[in-house]
Amino acid sequence: MIDTGKLDNASGEGKKSFHYDFSPAEVKSLAKFFRYYQSELPEILTKFSYSVEQVVYSYLSIEEAEEFFS
């Protein structure tokens, strides 16, 4: 769910945010997408990509993660 009401910025620094609950399937799809297009990702998405990958690693064993990303 995207909460667009939180897109305003109280600090005035130009940062915007929203809340979205990703399903496990969405997280896996994003992780694979980011891994596949890693060399083409804008630098601004690097931290987000890393965070998505860490979520996948948190609920897979090492063997499952290796298989997932291969």
- The domain ranges of the chain are 22-69
The token pair at 70 is 């291969």
CB atoms under 10 Å from CB of 35, counted, come to: 15
Quote the pLDDT of residue 61.
87
pTM of the full structure: 0.67
**What is the C-alpha separation between 14 and 28, in angstroms, rounded?**
30
Integer Rg of the chain from CA: 15
pLDDT at residue 49, rounded to an integer: 94
Residue-by-residue pLDDT tens, the chain, 70 positions = 545 555 555 555 667 788 899 998 999 999 999 999 999 999 999 999 999 999 988 888 889 888 888 8
- Helices 24-36, 46-59: axis angle to 10 degrees equals 130
Sign of CA dihedral 62, 55, 25, 40: negative
